[in-house]
Amino acid sequence: MNSHKLSKYLTLGIVLILLVPLTSSITTLAQTNTSNTLYIAWVTPHPFQSLSTYNPNLFAGGLGGSFYGLVYAYTALLNVSNNGIIPCLIENWSFSPPNWEQVWKNETVNVTMTLRHSGWANGAPVTAYDILATSLILDILGAPPYPNYTVINNYTIVISYPPGTLSPYLLPFTYLDTIGLGEVALITSYFQYKPLIQQIEGNWSQLQQGNTTLIKKFRQELHSYVPPGPISANYNGPFYVAEITPNEIILDKNPYYFAANNIKFNQVVIYQFSSVSSAEAAVLNGQVSIEYSAFMSLPSTLISSLPSYYEVINIPNPGGYALYFNFKNPWLSMVQVRQAIAYVLNRTSIVLAGGPKYSPVPIPNGIPNFTYYKQFITPAVENLNPYNTNLQKAAQLLESVGFTMKNGQWYTPNGTPFTLTILVPFSPGPGLINMLNVIENELTSFGIPTSYYVQTVSSVLLKDYETGQGYDLVMQAWGGYYPGTVDWFLETQYLNGIPYNVTQWDGIVKLPNGTQVNVTSLYKATIAPNSSSELISANDEMAYALNYYLPALPLVYESQQVIVNTHDLIAPPPNSWFWEEYFYGIGGTAINQLGITAGYFQPVTTSVTTTSTSSTTSVPTTVSVSTTTTTITITTSSSNTLAIAAVAVVIIIIVIIAAVLALRRRR
C-alpha cells in the first residue's frame, strides 16, 4: 500500500474513531432531564423510624389516611363533576335482580364485581378474597346490618345487601357505597390478615345480629394486629413502602399494579417533619412537588409567601371543623349548656384568626349553602338557629339549669368550678392553633376556664374514646361531600360510636315538643331513601334536630387548597374538573391515585436549549478551518463542562491531523 493510500485510510480511521465519542458526546449534551420522583412534606409528631420497627397495619398506626391514594388501590372512583364511575381495580360490575330498582325494599340486592389483574407489591395477585377481607374489616368498624359475601373465583365476588339498604333514588351514593367500598381503598390483604379474617368469618352470623361483645373484641384485635410480612405484601397501590428513615419514607413504584406502565414516577419521597415550620421551609425552598391539608396545614402566611413557580388551587368545601361535646361530662350532657357555649363563641372572630381559607358556619348543623345541596334548603330549614354571639343569652341558659357566677367564674349546680379541656387528636397548623387560642380565650373570658392539648398517639386516643375520660370536647373534622345528599356521617356515625365514641352520646335527640329522633336511624334515610321526597325530608329533619341539640358545634368551613410546584409537576389547570376529586376518598387522596395513574400528573421534563456560535480556528498553515462551540443551558453536574472541553479538544486534534496530512500530500 503506497503512502498516499496509507495516509487516506489512516486519516479516515482516525476521524471515524474520534467521531464515535464525538457523536455520543453530542447526544448526551442534547438529552432532556426528567425528574421521576414526587416529593411530599408530611408533618407528624411521631415519625416512623425504620422498616424494622414499622407495623404496616394502618389501624395500629401504619401509613394510611393521608396516603391511601399512593399505597392502596381504589376499586373505583366517583367522578365528582358528573357522578360517573371511574373503574380502578374492578373491571366491571352488575346489580341483580334485573328489576332491583323496583324490588330493593323487600328483596336482597346482589352486586357482582369482577377484578382486573393487579398485584400486591410482593408479587401476590390482588383477588376477590382481598375485597372480602377489606369489607369484613370495614363492617366490624361500622354497624349492622352487614351484607353477605360470596367469592365465586379469584377475580369475582358477589356482595348481597339486605332489603332496604341500597336505594335507586340515590344512585351515586349507592355506587360509592358498593363498588367503591364506601370511598375506602382496598386496604386489607386476605393472606396477611388471615387469622383475624377467619375468626370474623366464623362468627359472621352473630356479628350480623349485632353482638357488641364480639364487635368490640375484633376491633381490639385489629388495632393490635401485626401482619407477618413482608411489608411489601401489604400494599397494592401505585407505590409501596420500600425504605424508612427518621427523616424520610421512600415509596417505590409497585411493578405489579395494573396501571404501572402508565405511571411516570418511579418513586415518592415523603419528608417527615416534626414541626410545621420545618415543613414550610421545605415548601418555600422548592423541595416539595405537591402539598395539601391531608399532609400538612397550609396557612395563609405560607400561601402568600410561595415562590412564583407554585400554583395554588382553591377548592370550596362543605366541611371544616367542629367542637364535639363529650356527653359523659354531666354538664355537657345538658342541651342548655351546649347551647350556651354556642352563644359564647364568635365564629367570625375564630375565622379571622385562622386565615382566609376559613369562613364561618352561618348556621351550625344547617344545610351547607353549596350548589349541590340547594335542593335541601327548604322553608323547613331556612330559619334554624344561627347562634349569633350573645353572652347575655348564654348566661341565662346556664342559670336556667343551676349554674352560678362568682367573681367572674361559672360554678356548676354542685358548687364546683366549671372548666373545660379540649382534645385535639391531630397536629394542628398555625391557622388552627390561632383558632384554638381564640376559642380558649373567649370561653375563659366568659368565666369558663378552658385549655386544649394535642394527642396523636392512636392507642391513647382509642382508650380515651372508649372510656370518655381525659377530655370535655374534641376539635375534629366536620361535614364534607356526599354525592346527592348531605354528609352527616362524622357527627352521627363515625365519631358517635361507629366506630369511635368521641361524643359518648346515644344518638337520641330530645326535641322541645317532647318527641325523640334517633339520628342513627335517620341517617340511613339520608343515604338510602324510599323516594326523592323522603331524601329531602330526612336531610331537613336531621338539620333541625342537630341544630337544636348540638352534639357537635360546627364552627368553620375550610376551603381546601392544593399547591403544585410547576418545576416538578405538570398538573391540570385550576379550573379543571379533576380537582373536584379532592372530595372523593379518604383525606382527599383520590386525586393522587387518579392523577398519577391516569396521567393527570406528569413529571416535568427539563428543556435543553442549544445555542451555536461560529468562530475560526487558525492553524499555522495556509488552511483555515471553521469550528463550532456549543453552549448547553441546563442545570446538571459539572461533568457537562468537561464534556464540552473534551469535544473542543477532539475537534482541534482532528483539524491539526487533517492539516498535516494535507501538507504531506502537497510534498
Q: Nearest Cα to 83, choosing from 610, 660, 531, 482?
A: 482
Q: Taking 60 as the threshold, does the pLDDT of residue 359 lie above it?
A: yes
What is the tens place of the pLDDT at every residue in 240-294?
Answer: 999 999 999 999 999 999 999 999 999 999 999 998 899 999 999 999 999 987 7
| Inter-CA distances, 134 with 232, 303, 528, Å | 17, 38, 22
Q: Is the pLDDT score of 296 beyond 70? A: yes
Q: Check if the beta carbon of residue 63 is closer than 8 Å to that of residue 56.
A: yes
Q: Is the pLDDT of residue 236 over 50?
A: yes
Question: Tell me, what amino acid is at 106?
Answer: N
Query: Which band of pLDDT confidence, cut at 50, 70 and 90, is reported for residue 221?
Result: very high
Q: Which of 27-36, 348-357, 420-429, 508-517 comes out lowest in average pLDDT?
A: 27-36
Per-residue model confidence (pLDDT) at position 582:
87
Quick check: 495 and 503 in contact, CB under 8 A? yes
Q: How confident is the model at residue 5 (pLDDT cuts 50, 70, 90)?
A: very low
pLDDT at residue 589, rounded to an integer: 83
Q: Measured between alpha carbons, how far is 591 from 469 in angstroms, rounded to an integer?
A: 37
Q: Indicate the angle between helix axes 430-446 and 335-344, nearest 10 degrees.
A: 110
Long-range CB contact pairs, 489-492, < 8 A, 24+: 489/523, 491/322, 491/324, 491/365, 491/546, 491/551, 491/552, 492/519, 492/520, 492/522, 492/523, 492/542, 492/546
Give the pLDDT confidence score for residue 571 in this predicted structure: 96
Residue 643's pLDDT is 41
**pLDDT tens digits along 536-585:** 999 999 999 999 999 999 999 998 889 999 999 999 999 999 998 888 88
Question: Residue 67 above 50 pLDDT?
Answer: yes
Q: Write the DSSP symbol of residue 320.
A: E
Which has the higher per-residue pLDDT, 624 or 353? 353
The pLDDT, as a whole number, for residue 617 is 32
Contact 496, 465 (CB under 8 A): no
Q: pLDDT over 90 for what percent of the chain?
A: 70
- pLDDT of 34 reads 55
**Which three cell numbers mark 633?**
443551558
Section 388-403 average pLDDT:
98
Burial 433-455 (b: 16+ CB within 10 A, else e): bbbbebbbebbbebbbbbebeee
E-strand stretches of 387-480: 404-406, 409-411, 420-424, 450-454, 473-479
Rg (CA), the chain: 32
If one counts every other C-beta atom within 10 angstroms of the C-beta of residue 59, the result is 20
Mean pLDDT of the residues in the chain: 86
Does the structure show a pLDDT above 50 at 37?
Answer: yes
Strand partners, 452: 422
CA dist., res. 389 & res. 373, Å (int): 26
With a cut of 70, say whether residue 367 has pLDDT above it: yes
352 CB-contact burial (10 Å; exposed 0-12 / middle 13-18 / buried 19+): middle
- Whole-number Å distance between alpha carbons of 571 and 428: 28
- Spell out the alpha helix ranges (H) of 325-411: 335-344, 347-354, 391-400
- The DSSP secondary-structure symbol of 125 reads B
Verdict on whether the full-model pTM lies above 0.75:
yes
Query: How far from the centroid of its chain's Cα atoms is residue 286's Cα?
Result: 21
Question: All domains of the chain, ordered by start, with CATH?
Answer: 3-32+607-666 (no CATH), 39-57+238-311+566-605 (3.40.190.10), 73-236 (3.90.76.10), 319-553 (3.10.105.10)
Q: Quick one: pLDDT at residue 184?
A: 92
- Asked if 526 and 539 count as a contact pair (C-beta separation under 8 A), the reply is yes
For 508-526, what is the mean pLDDT? Answer: 94
**What is the tens place of the pLDDT at every residue in 129-170?**
999 999 999 999 998 899 999 999 999 999 999 999 999 999
Percent of the chain having pLDDT more than 70? Answer: 85
Question: How confident is the model at residue 430, as a pLDDT?
Answer: 85
406 half-sphere exposure, CB direction, 13 A CA radius: 10
pLDDT classification of 606: cutoffs 50, 70, 90: low
